[in-house]
Structure 1
Amino acid sequence: MAEFELLEGLSPDERRQFLAACTPRRFRRRDIVCHEGDPGDCVHLILAGRLLVRVTTPLGHAATLTMLGPGEMFGEQALLSPEARRTATIVAVTDAETLTLNRVQLERLRREYPQVERFLTTSLAAQVRRLSAAVLEALYLPVETRVLRRLADLAARYGDGGGAPTVIQLTQEDLASMAGTTRATANKVLRELEDQGVVRLGRGSLTVLDRARLAKRAR
């Protein structure tokens, strides 16, 4: 089973009891897990699958921010306030499984285990740092570098830790959105990487064949 930072510090018995109290959810590829603006009534712990985080821009377009996978979670911000709403739409890009934790359960954890409160604070601070870094990249890095960095980040996060090819269920349009550019620009960068044997392009997926070379190019 995936490991969750939220539950670090709990004993094995406490962790098992807690997870047993969660509600399992299953989603098929392309299912909408939640919509931006929905009431924030639960947090999801991801057991399996990949999910995309999308938001609506001021012009009404959908922008992809990032991809989430096993061991990660989403929805914790919405649980911190009774009036909070979902800040993003979550879409399953593969079949996925989650465990849901409602507000009452999270509040009990926060009261009983100080490490949970610390984790939530640390998690929110990390999100602020990531957003600040993304703004700096958008302002000062060439667009080609941003595309390379987003792809390298995904390959590092979801690879097997070795040298095996990493298949990322992601469209070129989604990758372009993460990098803050157009699909045409992302496609140009990807075609060059394909010619160099670094990636292989597929329908709705990207396979990273050489993570080391990609990481070097993304610096």
Structure 2
Amino acid sequence: MNEVSAWRPRLLNGHWFSQLPLSLQDSLLQAARLQRLAAGECLFQRGEPPSGLYAVVEGAMRIGAVSEQGKEALLALVEAPHWFGEIALFDGQPRTHDAYAEVACTLVWVPQPALTALLAEHPPYWRDFALLMTQKLRLMFVVLEQQSLMAAAPRVASRLLMIAQGYGEIDGSRRVLQLGQEQLALMLSLSRQTTNQILKDLQQQGVLRLGYGEIEILDMAQLAACVAAESSAKIAPRSP
């Protein structure tokens, strides 16, 4: 067993990899190598050429961008066992965002040449990579809709649920999220003050416990109810 194959059980915890044909799983692991990053280290930056596909098996990657004025947009913290980097596989264009290690990370990396050779030999595998990309596209539409229609508090609750559920990539839910309040505010394009107040309100209601650099969900059902109440209000019939 090589050092990449040793991470197979961790990758199998993710829906996408676990549902791949066994032959494709094997091909990816055979072509892959491990890459380790220190906290704050850059993996790639916006505008760089495609370098392949990555999976987080330890730690978390920060995906986002910084404007010329220094304003940061944080799209996601990518944690195990998520794969990322597939957009550039399809169009061969430069990277769309920056990727930095939020904490010390271990990544499974499948280089671009190995991927293109694999897909040239087995064209049906394109569908499997398309499913990885469309899964994220669906989430993006949900997030855009929420940003347009939801008030701040249910948006915070919804994003916490998404993160706890691994954005649909894992079974079950995590109770403790390694997520700072500032990071959450950046993800939602809310002020830190607004985000902090919403989280404190949820803590007072017994829904959350706030710690240093982490948020523990104490009542998952009540957190979901915050989102459901907002959704119900949006579709409630109007009075004549």
TM-score computed with the length of structure 1 as normaliser: 0.85
Instruction: Choose the corresponding residue for 1:74, options 73, 79, 84.
Output: 84
CA contact (8 A) 2:52 2:109 kept: yes
Residue segments in structure 2 that go unaligned for 5+ positions in a row: 1-8, 229-240
Q: Which amino acid aligns with 1:126?
A: Q
Taking the aligned partners of 1:90 and 1:134, their CA distance within structure 2 comes to: 20
Q: Which string of whole-angstrom CA distances, capped at 9 and with x for unpartnered residues, describes residues 88-145 of structure 1?
A: 1123233321111112211122233344200222333333333222222111111111
Per the alignment, residue 117 of structure 1 pairs with 126
Give the one of 31, 34, 54 matched to 2:41: 31
Could you tell me which residue of structure 1 aligns to residue 74 of structure 2? 64
Q: Distance in 1 between matches of 2:42 and 2:224?
A: 32
Match of 2:160 among 140, 151, 155: 151
* Counterpart position of 1:210: 219
Task: Tell me the matched-pair count.
Answer: 214
SS of equivalent to 2:96: coil
> Where has structure 1 moved over 4 Å in runs of 4 or more?
57-60
TM-score (norm 2): 0.78
Sequence identity, in percent? 27
**SS of residue matched to 1:134:** helix
1:53 to 53, 59, 63: 63
Query: What is the CA-CA distance between 1:21 and the residue it aligns to?
Result: 2.7
Larger Rg computed on CA atoms:
2
**Separation of aligned partners in 1, 2:69 and 2:154:** 25
Cα RMSD (Å)? 2.5
Structure 1: 5+ residue runs without aligned partners? none
Cα separation, 2, equivalents of 1:189 and 1:52: 23
- Structure 1's 131 and 81: CA in aligned 2 closer, same or farther, altered over 3 A? same
SS in 2 for 1:110: helix
* AA of the residue aligned to 2:172: G
